[in-house]
Amino acid sequence: MDNASRSERSRKAALEAATRIIARDGPGRLTLDAIARESGLSKGGVMHQFRTKEAVLKALLERQMDHFEEFSTRYMAKVSETSANPHLATQLATVREAATSPNSAALALVAAMVENPGLMVLPRDREMKRVEAIKAEAEDPELALLRWAAARGLLLSSLFGMSPLSGDEHQKLFARLLDDDQWRPLEKPAKPLATKARTAKSGAAPAAKAVTPRKRA
């Protein structure tokens, strides 16, 4: 095995060990010594890949973000021709995947928040772009964002152990959030003011109000 392959193998082993430690013991127990024990690498081998715990967290966060970015790309390709809101559908499905994945990206996010809130700039920038895409395609942007926020709430409440819902109930709720047909009746109709503005701009006179003839005494 050449040096590059050996180095990549050690890096992967260290990150997988870090994920297990976070999932089992919590982010507060993540140290370079703990990673060395969990992975079977020497501490020097771990430090050759990552000089600090923050570097481990950043790499773990980027790795999980890339994993779900690939999932999003595949899902978008599948629904882009069939869904009226492909960006929303993709993000709802990705959040559901994160909630059910055994090595969820949420583990890395929690660890990053606890140890260094500044690392949250990485996922937040991506989320801002996704939100803008969801709003741009939606007939009712506010309703679309409510669906997106509800999915994120299901993920976070489950992650922090605050959800009273079973796994089956979570899946049913995610399925409902993904079903456009159930939300279409709640979409806001076109605003009357917009219609009036278009009429005034075109120069067309508003329709005359019907006059009801008065009855004779």
The pLDDT > 90 percentage for the chain reads: 44
Residues 22 and 103 in one domain: no
The structure tokens 């993904």 sit at 178
Task: Determine the pLDDT at residue 191.
Answer: 58
pLDDT category at 144 given cuts 50, 70, 90 is very high
Residues 2 and 106 in one domain: no
Residues 100 and 26 in one domain: no
Q: What is the mean pLDDT of residues 19-46?
A: 88
Whole-angstrom Cα distance, residue 63 to residue 155?
19
Query: What pLDDT digit, counting tens, does each position of 95-120 carry?
Result: 998 888 755 556 666 666 666 777 77
Residue 204 within a domain: no
Residues 34 and 124 in one domain: no
Q: pTM of the predicted model, to two decimals?
A: 0.73
Query: What pLDDT digit, counting tens, does each position of 166-208 carry?
Result: 989 999 999 999 999 999 999 986 555 444 445 445 555 445 4
Length of the chain: 217
Whole-angstrom Cα distance, residue 14 to residue 174?
33
Residues 65 and 38 in one domain: no
Q: How far is CA 138 from the centre of its chain?
A: 17
Residues 47 and 68 in one domain: no
Task: Determine the pLDDT at residue 214.
Answer: 47
